[in-house]
Amino acid sequence: MPKLTRTHYSVRELTRMFAKGDIAIPEIQRDFVWDAKRIRSLIDSVNRDYPSGAIILWRPEFRKKSEFEMLIRPERLKLYKDRLPTYLLLDGQQRLTALCSVILPAEEVMSSLGEEIDLPKLFINIKNLKIESRKDLLPPSNNHALLNRVLSEETEESGLTGLLKELKDRNDILPKHHNLLKDFRDGILQYVYPVQVLEDCKYETVSDIFKRVNSQGKILVTAELELATIVPHWKGFSKHLRSFIREMKGEGFIADLPFYMKCLAFIATDWPVLDYFSKQVLNGEFKKSQLERFWRLTKQSIRRLNRILERNHINRMELITTRNALVPIVYAIARDKRKRIEDGLFVKYLVYAMVGGHYVQQTEGVLKRDSYPLTDSKRIDKGFKKLYNQMTRRELSSKVFDESDFQGIAAKNPALLSMYLGLVHAKARDFSGKNSTPTKQLDKYQIHHIFPVEFMLSDEAAMKYTKKKKLSRAEFKLEINDVANLTFISLEANQEIKKRPPYDYLPKMCPSKNLAAHCIPKDADLWKPQNFDKFCTERRRMLARAMNAYVRSLS
């Protein structure tokens, strides 16, 4: 049985310990995921002296540096070159990281927390103590100060003392404002957390406690909990996994931890169920050399998948509405050692899975069902063809795209991927004249309303259109936001257009050939708001033709 000691530490003590490296983050912990809203809410709770949970620490028995390095999240290893941490943090990582992000001096935050973390910049209004977030370090007004300046350790020029010196000549900043800031700072830093310290227990026990604590509150997704089961029996895997996720992100392949874990589980066991895989690891059914081989094969397969997607114009991962459709493809690639499956079939499977909503509900059940034709067939190419045929028969009325496939609002709409592929295949370019950038090569793009929203909601002819169609304002907004009114252009072109009507900007910014590539009707009468419905109808037809041309190119 582990020994459990109960104590308490103030926020000031905890953040100091964390910054110095006395508290380390173990590899079983997930990434920092809190946004500005969650951090503001925590600061508000602490300021009001509301309960905000407990902190659980583990004091390991071993003291060898090599053993610690296998357990610690890699981004903070540099803190432990000449020393070892006293504790590993089991529960409270999000809270403690959030507190450190606003209490440590701003210039020290990234070096203490790790360069991977994308943190919001929080500012406090020095008159009313309201907190706002920004993406940069520019304060919203001269009444705002970076929250770190108010809460960080003080010297003569830094911290709250330095801030108040800067404000001394302002007549509108009164002693009561100084006192409010001091009370606010003291309340945050003196807030006390109950802390539980585990001692005399092995990593396997710690992992089990970690899973139980987090699963009760449903804080972590299944993949993260199963990773916590695997790590004590496959030391160093979490570090390699997160490193590979970062590597693929740098290549434009954006997927979360559950995707990688599902791919590995499927390849290792021929069954895409995480807890089945983790139980086998827990029971010692795999040697470490076997696990390493499965992991190498998983990485090779994901890299090849990324190359296939790139070659077939799928370079915008955010347009893939679910990564689960990629899991059977990764498995098939891993098993297809003779490369009998054509790349085009993989891409068609992905596209039709998106359009048919194959993975919209009961994801694990669908993945299990999809595994049968893949694992029951003697040859993986025949198995994947069987899976493809079953999926298309079940989910699609036809493999030919028509106007109905390009309807609805943009949010999580697979039509956006279809539209993008059709436009890129047609060699669409940005809206900026003859020598504009090809759509596929835009570093960043905007989903542009061809009939801008602001224009349509204020134009007199558009208002007559709504009356004629008997549309409420909400219904009209839905029409404006339909995918048939969208295309992909650069931020610069979007800003130049702003709320200009299409009959004004299209002749100047989009040559005839590019109009066709963007599936925009050339009839200028359809660019008028009174003909908006006719524009959308014609554009849907053009988008369907473009997407069918893309699919034919895959054969």
Averaged confidence pLDDT in the chain:
88
In angstroms, rounded to a whole number, what is the distance separating the alpha carbons of residues 221 and 223?
A: 6
Q: Strand pairing partners for 88?
A: 24, 58
pLDDT higher than threshold 80 for residue 68: no
Locate 455 and state its tokens: 């224009």
Residue 139's SS3 state is coil
Model confidence pLDDT, tens digit, residues 393-415: 999 999 999 999 999 998 888 99
Name the packing angle between helices 380-395 and 363-376 (round to 10°): 140
Confidence band for 531, pLDDT divided at 50, 70 and 90: very high
In angstroms, rounded to a whole number, what is the distance separating the alpha carbons of residues 463 and 440?
A: 36
- What pLDDT score was predicted for residue 125? 92
Residue 140 burial by Cβ neighbours in a 10 Å radius (0-12, 13-18, 19+):
exposed
pLDDT higher than threshold 80 for residue 474: yes
Q: Tell which residue, 519, 543, 521, 547, has the closest CA to residue 534.
A: 521
Model confidence pLDDT, tens digit, residues 87-98: 888 888 889 989
Tell the residue number behind the tokens 């003909």, with chain if given.
531
Contact 355, 291 (CB under 8 A): no
- What pLDDT score was predicted for residue 65? 64
In angstroms, rounded to a whole number, what is the distance separating the alpha carbons of residues 91 and 14?
A: 13
pLDDT higher than threshold 90 for residue 154: no
Model confidence pLDDT, tens digit, residues 204-253: 777 777 767 665 544 445 677 788 778 878 877 888 898 899 899 999 99
pLDDT higher than threshold 60 for residue 282: yes
The model's pTM = 0.76
For residue 391, the surrounding DSSP H or E stretch is helix 380-395
Confidence band for 75, pLDDT divided at 50, 70 and 90: low
